[in-house]
A = this chain, B = another copy of it.
Amino acid sequence: MLDEKQNSGLNFHVSVDCVVFGFEFGKLNVLLLERKMLFKGVEFKDLKLPGDLVRKDEDLDTAAARVLKELTGLDNIYLRQFAAIGTPDRLYRMERDMEWLRQIGHPEEVVVTVAYYSLINIDQDKINRFELQEDVKWHPVSQIKELAFDHMEIFNDALKALRDELRFNPIGFELLPSKFTLSQLQKLYEVILGSTLDKRNFRKKVSNMPYVIPINEKEKGVSHKPAQYYIFSKKVYEKTRKSSLDFFV
């Protein structure tokens, strides 16, 4: 009754979906795939989250990392699982979704999906290797209004999970280049948490974090007082954090 005895013929498809965040020019962006199709005789375009079916011989985390690698060419990206969704009709609520699945030959079956978000820093030296396919683009988070399937819900949940984690773990640095200014860091927190922060209080807090370290380098070519660059040291962080739950609020 409570065991894996029953229903042993019941098979599902399992997929991973990735909500890939990036931060540039003071904006939080998300990487989305354009979906094109012929719908009721006219061309129809919309956006969806990148994802793929999980293969039989791979872990869920591995599948998510593979999707990211195929999408961006990048390895070692910050990835966090934040939900599993298995509502039976989740892919079959909208006409256009059913039509699309028909066109790509997807059988009408339940797909349980495991959702991840990932954080990418669009660093100078990485940007070369970082060539996106034509149908994959960054979109400002604030402008996302609608996505395919239940991807809008997944996206909203990802944002919520990101905000929650940002308060208690030093993950903001994953979204910044390896050297960054304190203004960039502050802006990042403001944009993700959706509030403004006091500059002096912010810097006071950061100066109590021994793992945010000034380096011997300043901004160049800006028409104002150049800012000090800092780096984040994971090593120092691991060594100096007091409880498993300190960081920001």
Seen from chain A, the residues whose Cβ lies within 8 Å of a Cβ on chain B are: 1-8, 10-15, 33, 50-60, 67, 70-71, 81, 83-88, 101, 104-107, 110-112, 114, 164, 167, 245, 249
Contacts and interface: CB of A to CB of B under 8 A. Distances in A.
Nearest to A33: B2
21 contacts: A2-B50, A2-B70, A2-B71, A3-B104, A4-B13, A4-B15, A4-B51, A5-B105, A6-B52, A6-B53, A8-B106, A10-B55, A10-B56, A11-B11, A14-B112, A58-B88, A59-B86, A60-B84, A81-B84, A84-B114, A167-B245
A55 B114 CA distance: 17
Contacts of A54: 10, 12, 86, 112
Main secondary structure, interface of A, reads loop
Contacts of A33: 2-3
B8 A11 contact: no
A240 to B, nearest CB: 19
B81 A111 contact: no
Max chain B C-beta neighbours (<10 A), residue from A59, A86, A245? A86
Nearest to A58: B88
Given A10-B54, A54-B10, A86-B54, A67 B2 contact: yes
A54 to B, nearest CB: 7
Given A12-B54, A59-B87, 14 more contacts: A2-B71, A3-B33, A3-B52, A5-B106, A6-B52, A10-B13, A10-B55, A10-B56, A11-B11, A54-B86, A57-B88, A59-B86, A60-B84, A81-B84
